[in-house]
A and B are shown apart, each in its own frame.
Chain A
Amino acid sequence: MAWTALVVEDSPTMRQLIVFALARIKGLSVIEADDGVDALKKLAGTKVDILITDINMPIMDGLKLTKRVRSDEALKRIPIVIITTEGADEDRQRALALGANAYITKPIQAPQVLSKVKELLKIA
């Protein structure tokens, strides 16, 4: 089985950390985007199985990206994991209300990311 994950994060450091963590899932390839607009371009050209996005990004943030993906007939079923520094409950609720499937707060731990991605992709 092969999957593709799209990691949307403006910080190269965080992006590398997430990509490094995801590399442990056999059969999962990762593509990267700097912000929401870049992500939408990549989603138009590639079949993506899961989207992992930061909230605070320039140009288009993670919440707007989630809203756009959920309103697009071709993309709306893609599972979305939100990663952000915001730990408050209302931020979590806002992200989930917009259609995110999971929410991870920074500082992120690789096992947490792996566990959510595996759960959403139904990988044993």
Chain B
Amino acid sequence: MADAEGKEPKPDDEGGLGSTKRDFIQTFFKRAGEFTDDLLRENERLRFRVLQLEEGARGRAAEVAPSSGTLRELAARIEQLEHEREQLLQRVHFVASENLDFEQRAREIERENNNLANLYVASYQLHSTVDLRELTQIVVEILLNFVGARTFAVLLLDEPLGVLRPLAAEGIARAEVPPARRGEGVVGAAVATGRPHVDPAANRSARDLARPMIVTPLRIQDRVVGAIVIWDLLPQKTELAEVDSELFNLLAAHAATALQGAKLASELGGRAVALWDAVDLV
């Protein structure tokens, strides 16, 4: 190979270059060896450090973890709380069911109060007068406004003849009220037996005067003095309620005695009779 001046290098020069290369290689390998030693030492140091850290972590975990006794206590506490929760839930359900019962009872009491109010007013009105015309009007109003009857008649029994005569009628002219005799037909049978007749299936869409829906005999004790006959109800009155039968019972007794009283009063011809005169009759 030629140098910069174009001369071939001398053998001494070759020998010098070789020595430099050798030195370089020896230094290189020496340094590589030293570096490898350093790496091994560092590796060993780090592994030792890892072991230390692992040991430390295990120690701390052991410090934090509860003992088996504590675990048992906690489990028991959880079980107790679950039991208490279950009891509270049962109590809540029981109270809720009690509330429903109370609500239902309150509604029933309210309904009873309303029924009693109706019966009280009806009874009070039936005994508020001895004027036959006023009394008849009151009976009609009770049937119309309390019961919700649309077509009905109040009949009085002409006892010697056994014929029922209409005292008042609503929804039908008095002259159109079908004639009735004691013991004949539905009305006559109710009057003869003294037992009410109820036929809720009576055709409500087409009034059938031969088939009354309700017949309530008017009674003074065991004596029947007349009857209330209902053929149909107001369209908004879809069915008979519990209070209606109570009203019929009340009318059966109170309307009869009130009508009888009014009849006697009218027979007195307006003559005032002092109540204390009755003392002699007792």
Instruction: Give the CA-CA distance A35 to B142 in the complex, in Å.
Output: 19
Instruction: Name the residue on B nearest A21 (C-beta).
Output: B117
B256: interface (CB < 8 Å): no
In the complex the two chains form, is B110's CB within 8 Å of A111's CB? Answer: yes
Task: Closest B residue to A87 by CB, please name it.
Answer: B236
- Binding stretch for chain A, among B35-43, B51-59, B143-151, B154-162: B143-151
Residues from 99 to 128 in B contacting A, C-beta threshold 8 Å: 110, 113-114, 117-118, 120-122, 124-125, 128
**Interchain nearest-CB distance for B248 vs A (Å):** 14
Please tell me if A29 contacts chain B, counting CB pairs below 8 Å.
no
Residue among B118, B128, B145, B237 with max Cβ neighbours from chain A (10 Å) = B145
Chain B interface mostly helix, strand, loop or mixed?
helix
Q: Which of B118, B122, B128, B144 contacts A106 (CB 8 A)?
A: B144
Q: Mark out the residues of chain A between 2 and 48 whose CB falls within 8 Å of any chain B CB in the assembled complex.
A: 11-14, 16-17, 20-21
Chain A residues with Cβ under 8 A from B113's Cβ? 110
- Quick one: which of B133-148 are within 8 Å of A by CB? 138, 141-142, 144-148
**Given A14-B145, A106-B144, A111-B114, do A20 and B234 touch, yes or no (CB 8 Å)?**
no
Chain B residues positioned under 8 Å from A101 (CB to CB): none
Known interface pairs A87-B234, A111-B110; A13-B120 also in contact (CB < 8 Å): no
The 6 closest A-B pairs by CB, nearest first: A107-B148, A87-B236, A13-B141, A110-B114, A13-B125, A17-B121
